[in-house]
């Protein structure tokens, strides 16, 4: 299974492709120099396969490279960061 996480700025979301099929996305709203993550969705046929975690990990890795901070309003993204504290530095302070 090959996966690719890429930003789709036109739709304000990061998408994960599994074997070239859209398997899920995490939506964001740009605000004051950071991204507010509002919703994550994984296609039913890709659930319970680690696709959601791979999506969030790939998204956060790309944002770290860019130096972009986030606000994890989406419960899935917030729970991922809680389980993986190595990403806690990406959360915008005071938000």
Distance (Å, whole) CA 19 – CA 61: 21
The separation between CA 34 and the C-alpha centre of its own chain, rounded to angstroms, equals: 13
The whole-number pLDDT of residue 7 equals 98
In a domain, 22, yes or no: yes
What's the structural domain count of the chain? 1
The whole-number pLDDT of residue 95 equals 63
Distance (Å, whole) CA 71 – CA 38: 9
| pTM for this predicted structure | 0.95
In a domain, 39, yes or no: yes
In a domain, 95, yes or no: no
Cα–Cα distances in Å, from 4 out to 14, 23, 54?
Answer: 10, 10, 9
DSSP state of 92: P
**CATH code: domain of residue 37:** 3.40.630.30
In a domain, 76, yes or no: yes
Q: Could you tell me which residue, 87 or 33, shows the higher pLDDT? A: 87
pLDDT tens per residue across span 25-74: 999 999 988 999 999 999 999 999 999 999 999 999 999 999 999 999 99
pLDDT tens per residue across span 13-38: 999 999 999 999 999 999 988 999 99
Q: Could you tell me which residue, 2 or 9, shows the higher pLDDT? A: 9
In a domain, 73, yes or no: yes
């Amino acid at each position: 299974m090959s996966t690719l996480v890429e930003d789709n700025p036109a739709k304000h979301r990061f998408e994960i492709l599994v074997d070239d099929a859209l398997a899920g996305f995490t939506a964001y709203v740009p605000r004051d120099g950071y991204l507010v993550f509002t919703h994550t969705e994984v296609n039913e046929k890709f659930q319970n396969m680690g696709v959601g975690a791979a999506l969030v990990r790939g998204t956060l890795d790309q944002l770290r490279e860019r130096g972009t901070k986030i606000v994890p309003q989406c419960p899935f993204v917030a729970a991922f960061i809680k389980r993986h504290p190595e990403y806690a530095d990406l959360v915008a302070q005071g938000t």
